[in-house]
Amino acid sequence: MTATDLIIYSSIALSTSTIAAVFGFAGGMILVAALSNLLPAAAVIPVHSAVQLISNSSLAAFGKKFIHWPIVREHLIGASIGIVISFLFLRKLDLAMTPAIIGSYILLSVWSKRFIAVMGKIESFYILGAIQAGLSLIVGATGALQMPALIRKLSNHHQVVSTVAVIITTDHLLKFIVFYAIGFAFIDYAPAILCMGCSAIIGSYVGTKLRHYIDLSKYQWVIKVLLSILAILAISRYVLN
Question: Of the ranges 89-103, 131-145, 147-161, which one carries the lowest mean pLDDT score?
Answer: 89-103
Provide the CB-side half-sphere exposure for 189 (13 A, CA): 22
More confident residue, 131 or 224: 131
What's the mean per-residue pLDDT of the chain? 83
Task: State the Cα angle at 143 between 83 and 156, rounded to 5°.
Answer: 130
Cα 64 from Cα 88, distance rounded (Å): 34
Q: Which residues are CB-contacts of 195 (< 8 A; sequence separation ≥ 6)? A: 6, 9, 10, 13
Q: pLDDT-based confidence at 149, cuts 50/70/90?
A: confident
Task: Identify the burial level of 206 via C-beta atoms within 10 angstroms of its C-beta, where 0-12 means exposed, 13-18 middle and 19 or more buried.
Answer: middle
Cα 9 from Cα 6, distance rounded (Å): 5
Listed by start position, the domains of the chain span 3-240
Question: Of the ranges 38-42, 77-81, 109-113, 218-222, which one carries the lowest mean pLDDT score?
Answer: 218-222
Please indicate, yes or no, whether the overall pTM of this predicted structure exceeds 0.85.
no
Structure confidence at residue 217 (pLDDT):
66
pLDDT in tens, 21-38: 887 777 887 888 888 888
- Classified as helix, coil or strand, 140 is coil
Residue 227: is its pLDDT beyond 90?
Answer: no
Q: How is residue 214 annotated by DSSP?
A: -
Cα 202 from Cα 55, distance rounded (Å): 9
Cα 17 from Cα 39, distance rounded (Å): 19
Burial of 138-176, coded b for 16+ CB within 10 Å and e otherwise, reads bbbbbbbbbbbbbeebbeebbbbbbbbbbbbbbbbbbbb
Structure confidence at residue 193 (pLDDT):
95
How large is the average pLDDT for residues 148-160? 79
Cα 189 from Cα 185, distance rounded (Å): 8
Structure confidence at residue 189 (pLDDT):
94
Instruction: Say which amino acid occupies 180.
Output: Y
